[in-house]
Amino acid sequence: MKTLTKQMQSTITPAMALELLKEGNRRFQSNLKANRNLLQQASETSDGQHPFAIVLSCIDSRTSVELIFDQGLGDVFSVRIAGNIMNEDILGSMEYGCKVAGAKIIVVLGHTNCGAIAGACDHIEMGNLTALLNKIQPAVFNEKSETKNRSSSNPEFVEKVSTINIKRTIHTIMERSPILKELVETGAIGLVGGKHDIASGVVTFYDDTLIINNPKEPLSNTN
C-alpha cells in the first residue's frame, strides 16, 4: 500500500474516500491487512501529510480508527474524545484537516456499549466529565421511544441515544461551521455518520446522514 502523496490525495473524491474506509473495514472484519511498510511510511510522511479522511471517534480503547479501517501512517486524521462529542476545538481541527490539508470526507463514528453514552443516560456528574456528558444530554432527551427504563441498565435505550448523538453531531458540523458547510455543498468533501460494533468489528454507515454532493446537482441529504 503506497503512502499518500498530495497528487494521490487530489484524485480521491468524497465517494472514493468512503469506499476506501469501507474496504479497510472489510479487511479488518476478515482479519486481513493491506501490505504496507509503516517505517517507510513514517519516513515518507516526515515532511508532510495528505490524509484522505477525518474520523471523529470515541476514546474507547477498542475503537482505534487506524485498525478498524486498516489504514496506515498519513492516511487519516483521527480525532478522539469520549462520546464522540463536538466542540469548537474539534470543529477547528476539522476545518484545518479539510480546508488546509485536503481531507475528502468527515466521519462521525460512534460505537456500541459506549461508556460515555451510558454515563449521560445515568446523568452522572464527576469533575470535568460533567461538562462533557452534558453535551450528550440533548440526545438522551431526544430519545422518546423508551418511557420506562431510561438508564444504562437498558442496553437498547443506550444504543438509541448513541445513534441520535451521532446524527446530532453531523447536524452540528453543518450548523456551526460555515467553512465545512461550504466544502460539503460544493462537493469538495463528504460527511457521514456511522457506528462501530465492538464485538464484530463491523462499521455501519448511516445512509440518512450521508452527504456526498455532486457540485453540478443540488445538495442532497435525507437526514
Kindly report, residue by residue over 113-136, the tens digit of the pLDDT. Answer: 999 999 999 999 999 999 999 999
**Has residue 99 been placed in a domain?**
yes
Long-range contacts of 18-22 (CB under 8 A, 24+ apart): 18/105, 18/190, 18/192, 18/205, 18/210, 18/212, 20/52, 20/53, 21/53, 21/55, 21/69, 21/71, 21/105, 21/107, 21/203, 22/203, 22/205
Comparing CA positions, the residue from 16, 32, 113, 14 lying closest to residue 69 is 32
Instruction: Report how far Cα 60 is from the mean position of its chain's Cα atoms.
Output: 13
- Using the predicted structure, report yes or no on whether residue 147 has a pLDDT greater than 70: yes
Q: Please report the pLDDT score of residue 1 as a whole number.
A: 79
Residue 192 covered by a domain: yes
Q: Which domain holds residue 27?
A: 6-112+170-211
16: burial class by Cβ within 10 Å (0-12, 13-18, 19+)? Answer: middle
Whether residue 160 lies inside any domain: the answer is no
* Mean pLDDT of all residues in 186-199: 97
- Average pLDDT, stretch 132-161? 96
Q: Would you say residue 191 has pLDDT above 90?
A: yes
For residue 94, tell me if it sits in a domain.
yes
In a domain, 156, yes or no: no
CA angle 57, 221, 107 (to 5 degrees): 15
pTM, whole model, 2 decimals?
A: 0.93
> How many structural domains does the chain have?
1
Q: Which three cell numbers stand for residue 100?
A: 488546509
CB 94 within 8 A of CB 180: yes
pLDDT score of 220 more than 90: no
Q: Is 138 among the domain residues?
A: no
222 pLDDT more than 80: no
Assess if residue 66 is contained within a domain. Answer: yes
What pLDDT is recorded for position 2? 86
- The pLDDT value recorded for residue 129 is 97
Strand partners, 76: 53
- Write out the DSSP string of 121-176: HTT---TTHHHHHHTTHHHHHH--S--S--STT-HHHHHHHHHHHHHHHHHHHHHH
Does residue 126 lie within any of the structural domains?
no
Give the CATH number for residue 70. 3.40.1050.10
